[in-house]
Structure 1
Amino acid sequence: MGHGYEGEASNSAVAKALGISEEDVDNYVTIDTNDSDDGLVYNYIAVFNEATPPEVLAAAGVGEDDLSVELSVNVFDEEE
C-alpha cells in the first residue's frame, strides 16, 4: 500500500514542511508512519540519519538527540 511519499513530489513536500532543501531530504531523511493496526495513518515521521549535519537539523527544528520530527498526515496533499 502506498502512503503517498514516494518520488520527487514527496521530497518537495517534506522539504517545504521542514524548511530544508530537497537535496537534504533526499540525502538525510527517511519517512515513516504512525499508523493504526488496520493501516489508518495518523501522521508521518521524518527520521534523520546520524550523518545529518547539525545545521540541517537546526533548520528543520530537530534536536541532535531525537533525530525525528512529526509531520501532518496532510503533508503530501496537493494544493488545489
Structure 2
Amino acid sequence: MKQMSHGFEGDASNDVLARMLDISVEDVENYVTLDTNVSDEGQLYSYVAIFDRSTPQHVLEAAGAEGSYSVQLSVNIFDEEDQD
C-alpha cells in the first residue's frame, strides 16, 4: 500500500485523526489526506479528511465517509488537550 500524506505528519497528528475518525492510525496513514476549508481571506473554517478511492468499505463506514469519501472535522482537532 502507498503512504498517504495528510499534511500534518507525525505520530501525534495521526493519533488525533485516528481517534476523531474512529479508525486505526494505520488506516489514517494508508488512506487519509487532510485538506482545509478556508475563506478567501485565509481564515480556517474546518479540516476535511479525504479518503482514497481504494479505502475499504468498513473503514469508510467507521469514519462516516461512505458515499462521499470525506469527513468534515473541527478546526480545533489539533489543539492541545492537556497542558501540564
2:9 is aligned to 6
Aligned residues, how many? Answer: 76
Backbone CA RMSD of aligned residues: 1.3
CA distance in 2, matches of 1:6, 1:28: 14
Matches within 5 A, 1:53-68: 53-63=56-66, 65-68=67-70
CA distance in 1, matches of 2:71, 2:38: 15
Matches within 5 A, 1:37-52: 37-52=40-55
The normalised TM-score by structure 2 is: 0.84
Q: Secondary structure at the match of 1:52?
A: coil
CA distance in 1, matches of 2:38, 2:9: 17
User: What percent of counterpart residues are identical?
Assistant: 58
Q: 2:25 aligns with which of 2, 9, 22?
A: 22
- Stretches of structure 2 lacking an aligned partner (at least 5 in a row): 1-6
CA distance in 2, matches of 1:47, 1:27: 12
Any runs of at least 4 consecutive aligned residues in structure 1 with deviations exceeding 4 A, and if so which?
none
